Amino acid sequence: MQFLSQQQTYDWLGKTPFSVRPDRNVLSFPKGPNFCFKLELPTKIYRASSFVNYLLPYEEGSLSCPSLLWFTDWGMWNEIHERAGMFMLEQMRAARGEHSPLIETPGLLFDSSEAVALQSFLILPVLFSWDAYFAPEKGEYFVFNSHDESVYVVSGTKQTHDKLFEDLRTWDPKQSEWTR
């Protein structure tokens, strides 16, 4: 795992098919439509790990490509809520050798052998309602976890959209617009 500064995160995203608006920290697909559906977070908290796992790009039991987790907003809730989440995140980052604040290194780049680590880190924005993007390097889709307790899955092609929609049918996806 690598920890990336905001600029390094933009640079990494610049090598993918995604388009990033640095002024708002928004991802999209620059060429053509953005196909999107929305998922509500699991109501049973113990299902969060399984939910997050369904979002990852697997091939034969491991991640199919390096993937980025990019924290874009946090700290919007009360201190009691935030301190528990931040404590967990800081401990997980420190266990991987990163001691700088999240604001300095908001991007986490996982290689294809780090599925469990990615799943573990991705659970945190889901549990604590922080804004974060998950973006596989292949650039077929990205996921945005929103503080409004929804997850948006955005793809650049109808074929990818339809496959992901079907793969995630267990989680009751709803067609949506990508309007960030």
Report the first-to-last Cα separation within the chain, whole angstroms: 28
pLDDT digits (tens, 9 = 90+) for 43-74: 888 899 899 999 998 876 677 889 999 999 99
pLDDT of 21 strictly over 70: yes
Instruction: Please write the tens of the pLDDT for every residue from 112-142.
Output: 999 999 999 999 999 999 999 999 999 999 9
CA 35 to chain centre: 17
In the block, tokens 């559906």 appear at 37
Residue 29 makes CB contacts below 8 A (sequence gap 6+) with: 17, 18, 19, 154, 155, 156
Q: Which residues contact 78 (CB under 8 A, 6 or more apart)?
A: none
pLDDT exceeds cutoff 70 at 34: yes
User: Model pTM?
Assistant: 0.93
What are the extents of the domains in the chain? 2-176
Dihedrals φ, ψ of 128, to 5°? -105, 10
Q: What Å distances lie between residue 43 and 22, 39, 64, 173, CA to CA?
A: 33, 12, 29, 14
* Residues ≥6 apart with Cβ < 8 Å to 121: 69, 89, 92, 108, 110
